Amino acid sequence: MVARGQLVDAGLSATEIGDRLRQGRLHLLHRGVYLVGHAVAPALAREAAALLACGSGAVLSHRSAAAIWDLLPHPATAHVCVTVPLARRLARPRIRLRRSTLDDRDLRCRHGLPLTSPPRTILDLAGELGSEDLERLVAEANYQHLASTRELGDQLERNPGKPGNARLRSVLDLPGGPARTRSPAERRMLRLLRGAGLTGYELNRRIHGFEVDVLWRELSFAVEIDGYQAHSGRLAFERDRLKVASLKAHGLDVMPITPRQLRDDPDGVVARLLRALDLAGYRGPG
């Protein structure tokens, strides 16, 4: 990736740059920004080109930064998200521009590209994502040790007027903290648990050598969400029976729930779960 000014500094004239464009040795990506030699842009070429097109002080941010941190997908067809200094006034096709003053604490470099830190990226996205999507983002960043609750709290304190602050604060204040879910069924299950006011559970935790979907560790009680597609077939059948037998041998009571039950009979799921928890000795908060 190269900018026109860099080519001029290297001694190329306007005519020579034009010749290279016609010969396919340069490919125009943005005004004054070229891909060298490649007919197809390699990984992160669009992001590097966008930074060159926006000039000094530009950093990748929002969904582009989240994708580079492996926190959110960002399609190759989507505009690259870039934040530039407040004083910078520009517009570029295929680049989603924001203007902001960024603290040095909020800047990082990954794969050779300047971008916002994970905590700052999450704060930026808090104004764009719904509460459930934001919770998954926060939980995933925490799971990957990219952004702690303390670091996100620091972002809120340093940026009190930023859009999305209230939503991010409400996610951080959720009972038990933001929960990491891996499927729509798990998200439905989490909504039911919170709606029923249940506490004391852990999601996707290991016990006795196996990972269970929902665990009340002190009660030796667990819930497994058993979808047909994920658990069909001989190998899956044998694996699941071994898992349940092993957990029961360690004294763990396992309650199976299907995604269809969560979708079509949520009240029945809650009623059965409350009855099973009562038998296990659940006493609720306080």
Closest CA to 120 of 107, 129, 109, 133: 107
Query: Into how many domains does the chain fold?
Result: 3
pLDDT digits (tens, 9 = 90+) for 71-87: 999 988 899 999 999 98
Looking at the domain assignment, is residue 219 inside a domain? yes
pLDDT at 227 over 70: no
Domain co-membership, 199 together with 134: no
> Percent of the chain having pLDDT more than 90?
74
Query: Which CATH number characterizes residue 234's domain?
Result: 3.40.960.10
Looking at the domain assignment, is residue 178 inside a domain? no
pLDDT computed for residue 186 by the predictor = 93
| Containing structural domain, residue 17 | 1-40
Residues 6+ apart with CB under 8 A from 64: 47, 50, 74, 80, 81, 82, 115
Looking at the domain assignment, is residue 66 inside a domain? yes
Count of C-beta atoms within a 10 Å radius of residue 43: 9
Q: How high is the mean pLDDT of the chain? A: 91
Q: What distance separates the 2 farthest-apart alpha carbons in the chain? A: 83
pLDDT digits (tens, 9 = 90+) for 165-213: 999 999 999 988 899 888 899 999 999 999 999 999 999 999 999 999 9
CA distance 125 to 15: 44
- Please give the single-letter amino acid code of residue 40: V
Looking at the domain assignment, is residue 179 inside a domain? no
pLDDT computed for residue 228 by the predictor = 52
pLDDT computed for residue 29 by the predictor = 85
pTM for this predicted structure:
0.79
Q: Between 30 and 168, where is the model more confident?
A: 168
| b/e sequence 154-176, b meaning 16+ C-beta within 10 Å | ebbeebeeeebbebbeebbeeee
Domain co-membership, 89 together with 74: yes
pLDDT at 269 over 90: yes
Domain co-membership, 10 together with 84: no
Domain co-membership, 201 together with 273: yes
